Amino acid sequence: MGNAVRVLLAAGAIAGIGTLWGARADETSTNDKLRILYSNRLTFTDEGTPLVTVEIMSGQSEVRISAAHGVLVRPDGAGGSEIHGDAKWTVSLVDAQPAQIREWTVVDTVRTGAADHERRLGQALARWTERGQLPRQFEVGTVFGVSGAVLDSRETLIAVAPVDAPRGGEQAAAIARKYEIETHTHPELVRPARGTVVARSAHAVVRNPSVIWFAPAQPSDALVVDDVVTGGGGSQLQTQRETRRYAGSIYVTVGSDGKLTVVNAVPADKLLAGLVPAEMFPESPDAALEAQSIAARTDLLQKVGTRHLTDPYMLCSSQHCQVYAGAGHEHPRTTRAVSKTRGKVLVRKDDSLADARYSASCGGHGEHNQNIWEMKPDPALRGHLDMPPGPKSAPFGKGITNENIEAFLRLPNDVAYCGMTRYSKGRHRWTQQLDATEVTRWVAEHYPSVGRVRALEPVERGVSGRVVALRIRGDQGTAVARGDLHIRRMLGGLRSTLFTIRPVGDKAAPRAFDVHGAGFGHGVGMCQLGAIGMAEQGIQHPTILEHYYPGSRIQRLY
């Protein structure tokens, strides 16, 4: 590869993929082409950069792709036959069939690289066999070999009771109740979606089973995709469409729903060059941009092999994986930060990739990961004050509660790292008034028996003061909403759940609710505005990353 550090990466793949669609396919068969799309094993560019496949959009009946100097259409992918065609192509699908997906209930998880892996695995398999189940093992995650060292993030899932999707959630909940354990579902691709992909231009028609690749005829060109669905991620409710440009190549294939899915195959650092300026202001100090580049690279690679295991791509381009808007969003300062930190990621003490989550603004206090998502506590994702030590921050050292949240929200902006930067306006502290009629309508979509909403009462908060459980009182009943994203969306897309809420008007029948809040996003991991604030104080990126991901270290992978 020509690099000082050589990297070998293997990612957790779908169980049985070698026999799933027939083991005797030759190297040019449709089955092998599909194996490549569904595989989570990374390949590398000539420069040694991992190549990542990122979903652009799914669920489409028609897709339009173009390039300024013409498009290469490749039914067999790179290295196969190609059509040097027109500049504009329209892609459609005929004879489509959706995928068959089976969902298993995960009843135990064992870290693959742990010293007691075999013992724990054997005990779990024996325990569930004795209970009359037929347990199955699935491996997810990634393993890297770096200059003789191994960074192993793989986990072995022990799963039982498979059912056809989408009934896995009900099955998992029933098993959780019966055995009083935590469960979740794991999808298995029994049969991939299929159909004939048809690409048409003014002078040619190309038909191919299941997938067609596209590349610009002139390498310096970008591919243009019309009407890309954007927005609707996180707490935001609205979507829109816009034309976007993409570096690298694109393939159009059949998604699990039996409709067209569009995927960009792009080098990881090229992707990051477009992603980092969308995640952080390019005018930010170098140290903040470098911290963001390392966190984003870690987040990107850590998710490979753990998400979208039944989809024909590694990662999506929404907040579920990493927001990606394609090419044309690069900035020289952020590109320089990506290049300067090339190959660097965050690693836990146990030599696995860190879970490097981040959000726009923690509001002055980060949150524990398990209070935002259903997952085990992560030592590197602990919520703590985002402030230098001092008399103003001291009263909040043990967390934000119902008793001290009012005083916390009254703190001057410059007490917190994420409040002292000029970028914090509207993100560090904010107010919003919610019309009671609108709130009633939003709540009715989830809790129709509540009736007209009379009161909204935080009954449980995380360490940062974020609302973990919200009691909703109505004129017909009461409900308790749980979950950060659920609560934010239910209340019209709030910036965060770190808030107080007061009725406006008659308390028995308020006309509105005043919300006073802090932060923007879930608050777990790195606070991006906090990183900027720290960098503006002269703090360098290793110290910034240690502050937000305690116990982690920086490691170069490529």
Report the pLDDT value the prediction gives residue 20, as an integer from 0 to 100.
34
Q: How confident is the model at residue 52 (pLDDT cuts 50, 70, 90)?
A: confident
Q: What would the pLDDT profile of 377-419 be if each residue is shown by its tens digit?
A: 999 999 999 999 889 989 999 999 999 999 999 999 999 999 9
Q: How confident is the model at residue 44 (pLDDT cuts 50, 70, 90)?
A: confident
The pTM of this model reads: 0.84
Q: How confident is the model at residue 35 (pLDDT cuts 50, 70, 90)?
A: low
Helix (H, G, I), strand (E, B) or coil at 531: helix
In this structure, the number of other CB atoms found within 10 A of the CB of residue 176 comes to 15
In this structure, the number of other CB atoms found within 10 A of the CB of residue 80 comes to 11
Query: What is the token pair recorded at 279?
Result: 């995640």
Report the pLDDT value the prediction gives residue 149, as an integer from 0 to 100.
65
Mean pLDDT of the region 297-324: 83
Q: Of 534 and 115, which is predicted with more confidence?
A: 534
Q: Of 361 and 310, which is predicted with more confidence?
A: 361
* 487 contacts 496 by C-beta, under 8 angstroms: no
Cα–Cα distance measured from residue 287 to residue 272, given in angstroms and rounded to the nearest whole number = 16
Q: How confident is the model at residue 11 (pLDDT cuts 50, 70, 90)?
A: very low
Mean pLDDT of the region 422-446: 95
Mean pLDDT of the region 515-542: 97
The domains of the chain are located at: 373-519
pLDDT at 15 over 60: no
pLDDT at 25 over 50: no
pLDDT at 305 over 50: yes
Report the pLDDT value the prediction gives residue 451, as an integer from 0 to 100.
96
Query: Residue 401: CB partners within 8 Å, gap ≥ 6?
Result: 461, 465
Report the pLDDT value the prediction gives residue 284, as an integer from 0 to 100.
97
pLDDT at 8 over 60: no
Query: Residue 17: CB partners within 8 Å, gap ≥ 6?
Result: 35, 38, 39
In this structure, the number of other CB atoms found within 10 A of the CB of residue 557 comes to 23
In this structure, the number of other CB atoms found within 10 A of the CB of residue 221 comes to 18
Omega into 187 within 30° of 0, i.e. cis? no
In this structure, the number of other CB atoms found within 10 A of the CB of residue 138 comes to 21
Considering Cα of 240, then 245, then 249, then 252, what sign does the dihedral take?
A: positive
Q: Of 28 and 172, which is predicted with more confidence?
A: 172
Q: Of 374 and 122, which is predicted with more confidence?
A: 122
Q: How confident is the model at residue 9 (pLDDT cuts 50, 70, 90)?
A: very low
**Which has the closest alpha carbon to 223: 83, 328, 93?**
328
Cα–Cα distance measured from residue 210 to residue 193, given in angstroms and rounded to the nearest whole number = 8
Q: From residue 193, how far is each of 197, 343, 519, 552 by CA, in Å?
A: 12, 35, 42, 40
Q: How confident is the model at residue 22 (pLDDT cuts 50, 70, 90)?
A: very low
Q: How confident is the model at residue 147 (pLDDT cuts 50, 70, 90)?
A: low
pLDDT at 39 over 80: no
Q: What would the pLDDT profile of 217-255 be if each residue is shown by its tens digit?
A: 999 999 999 999 876 554 445 578 889 999 889 999 999
Candidate ranges 28-42, 309-323, 331-345; pick with highest mean pLDDT:
331-345
pLDDT at 28 over 50: no
Q: What would the pLDDT profile of 252-287 be if each residue is shown by its tens digit?
A: 999 999 999 999 998 899 999 988 998 899 999 999
DSSP 284-318: S-HHHHHHHHHHHHHHHHHHTTTS-TTSSSSB-SS
Report the pLDDT value the prediction gives residue 231, as an integer from 0 to 100.
67
Helix (H) or strand (E) holding 400: none
Q: 527 forms bridges with which residues in the sheet?
A: 359
Give the max Cα distance, the chain. Answer: 74
* 107 contacts 173 by C-beta, under 8 angstroms: no
* 549 contacts 346 by C-beta, under 8 angstroms: yes
Q: How confident is the model at residue 48 (pLDDT cuts 50, 70, 90)?
A: confident
Cα–Cα distance measured from residue 157 to residue 92, given in angstroms and rounded to the nearest whole number = 38
* 7 contacts 142 by C-beta, under 8 angstroms: no
Cα–Cα distance measured from residue 471 to residue 517, given in angstroms and rounded to the nearest whole number = 18
pLDDT at 12 over 50: no
Query: What is the token pair recorded at 189?
Result: 């691709």
**Which has the closest alpha carbon to 159: 78, 105, 213, 81?**
105
Mean pLDDT of the region 507-522: 95
Report the pLDDT value the prediction gives residue 148, as an integer from 0 to 100.
60
pLDDT at 24 over 60: no
When the pLDDT of each residue in the chain is averaged and rounded to a whole number, the result is: 88
Mean pLDDT of the region 449-464: 97
Q: How confident is the model at residue 1 (pLDDT cuts 50, 70, 90)?
A: very low
Q: What would the pLDDT profile of 347-377 be if each residue is shown by its tens digit?
A: 998 888 899 999 999 999 999 999 999 888 9
Q: How confident is the model at residue 212 (pLDDT cuts 50, 70, 90)?
A: very high
